[in-house]
Structure 1
Amino acid sequence: MIDVLTNGFLTNPIPIQFTGNYCSHGCVYCFSNINNPKRKLDVKGVLSQLKNFKKRDDLASFYMREKYPILFSNNIDPFSKSNQPYVNDLILTLRDLEIPVALATRGGQGWKDIYQEITPSVFYVTIPYSDDVIREKYEPKAPSLSERWEMTEELIKQGHKVIISINPLNKTFCSNPLEIISEAQKLGVESFVINKLHLTPKQQSNLTDREKSILGTELLTEAKSKGFQDNWIDQGMEMMNYCSENNLNLLGMDTGLTNSNYFEFKQCYDNLLPTLDDFFNWVSVTKEIGDYIYFEEFYNFFSVRLPDLQGNISKYIFNRAVINDKDFYKKMDLRNLLHLYWQHSKAGLNIPANYPSFSWVKKQYSTKLDFLFDDEHNQIMIYHGDEFNANETVII
């Protein structure tokens, strides 16, 4: 089905994604297959969407009407054997409807049949290994590394934009990820994405004994940890320094400073959602170190750049389980939604916890230490710029 990219609101410029069958590449740590190993494409449902999107009032149809790109996908590889040739047929149908696509892939079947038939598009190509022997252990049915590099080269020659995803980044998979960056750089790649291996305890309980044995105790322990291990941070810092010195972009080690993240998307697509990176760029121009940032500024920035959203926008609340008061879902407006993203510690962006250029402001009142609030009881942030502060809060 084609649906809202819920966990990408304000962090990904693409608003919707396609989900099809389970992925036959068989990566042992694939959260999507682990969550739903028997997932099957609802063919009738997709056909209904294609037939009726011009008159339906849901968010996915709205974005299709407005010709926003569709991501293929966080949940499948479009070129896995289990999703071909149907995905290519769908991409060509979308092309005829003038609805663009972006593709996240390790390669496989069908990409050679499609890449010359679509307008310049963004491809996330996943290459978290520099050694095929190691790759085959954890991604046994996925394409070889040489096949992925060949695909990357051909896509760029055709005019597509490639972002290399070193995800998951882990020393077990690749001891020196700068080798991957250097190889991609030679081909003309300018942006890279990194993230840690994530597998919650519940997801790990769904792994087979064989999959657990392949991953091993150390990887499984790291994967269920919410924090970042020192060796991951060390690798990330080394990559960040290299990318900074070579005018490359590294998404996943962001600081909150001005950046050119997602510039490839702006070169390929007319319609995109604003992201937090756009907000950071605005802050860097309008604020000085030590200035306060208010919710009203956050709201005003995004409200004029977001489309006139139609449909149930409460779908953008990714982690609903942590919100006690759910009464406002039915009548949620954009201000309600952005307020959650501004300051809800679990359902929001939690900017000060994730970006060292920002902190929440606290103040010592007569009876207690508490956050500094504006007149509408919204928390206030302070801007550190490049004078980074690792503390989520600062006291004035």
Structure 2
Amino acid sequence: MPAEGMLRRRIVRACLVLAAVLCAVYAAVIVTSMMVIEDRLLNDRLDEAADQLITNHLQGFRGEVPGDPRVYEGAAIPPQWRDLPVGMHEVDEGKRVLHVLVRERAGRRFAVVDDESDFEELEALVWSAVAAAFVLCMGLAVVLGRMTATRVIQPVVALADAVREGRLADDAPALGAADEVGVLARALAAHQQQMQRFLAREQLFTGDVSHELRTPLTVILGAAEVLQARLADRPDLLPAVERIRRTAVETADRVAALLLLSRAPEALDAPSVELLPLVQREMERCRPLLQGKPVQLQLQVEHEERVAGRPELIAIALGNLIRNACQFTEQGRVQVTLERGRILVSDSGPGVPEAIRSQVFERFVRADTSVPGTGLGLAIVQRVCAHLGWSITLSASDVGGCCFEIGLAP
């Protein structure tokens, strides 16, 4: 649901709650008033006049004015009232509502009866008016709430549109407003300018680093190839030269990948790439790390996937995972598995301690400080996966080490 609709509903709901509370308060006031009126106007009046009415009855005076209370004595009291205790009673007879006051005087029992049907009808009309007023108030609350919500959220929606379309800096009305929306607009504009400056610096820095590093890396790579050719008769030195050459190539690849990461994903082309050759190439690059170790580097292919993405980025993510597995595994195996929709890199190494497992993808976090490294490899992998729209998770391997799972984008 759009945020605009949620905010509008909240404002309308608040107006409804306010209207309901006010109606409940007014209804309570009306109920209390009706009860007080009934007690003061009817019950108290009948109680005060009861003695005089009984005296008139005993003297043989019979009032014939319609609506006046009537007095019944002893056996003349209707059967349904004879068992009523002394005091005031309200009796509903269906068509009539009577107030019956039972008194005893000198051992004689009297019932003073007042017909209050008119008052009860008036009370019912009042309740109907209260119910109608409640419905009307709730309807007005909905209408006024929607009107108020529209007026309240319109500046917020306009501000959100300006931020989304990147024209906040040119939106003078919002920036010049003296209300809370103006304060928010100015804060967002300042933050947007800071972010733009930061991104510009990052892009310039990445471009400068890429440009400045490519030349020395090319020189190192060329020198390594020359050394490799001249030292053909010195096989004891060839592994060191090969390590220099491989490191230069890997560093050049990292520089290229970082340069790609500095650009927005939508700004890059995403060719269709077959994963198997990339995985095989990265495994061959990492195989020298296992020399002298009783570790098998295995590849299991259950499904050959093709994905959309830059091969440089995919290679840097796969290479970091395989390289970490090879560096931390002293015996057993390192296995890369290609399945439908995911890539698994598992090993039989020491695993990641539970204490830092939730932080393993953060920068400079290292599971084992005895192995050389900077703690940036997994952070780069996560950033690459996010750039490609993939996911990466860590779980325990079935052979005791780590298992990194890359979920490929559909």
Q: TM-score range by the shorter chain?
A: under 0.3
TM-score by length of 1: 0.23
TM-score by length of 2: 0.23
Whichever structure has more helix as a proportion of its residues is 2
Q: Larger relative CO (CA 8 A, sep 6+): 1 or 2?
A: 1
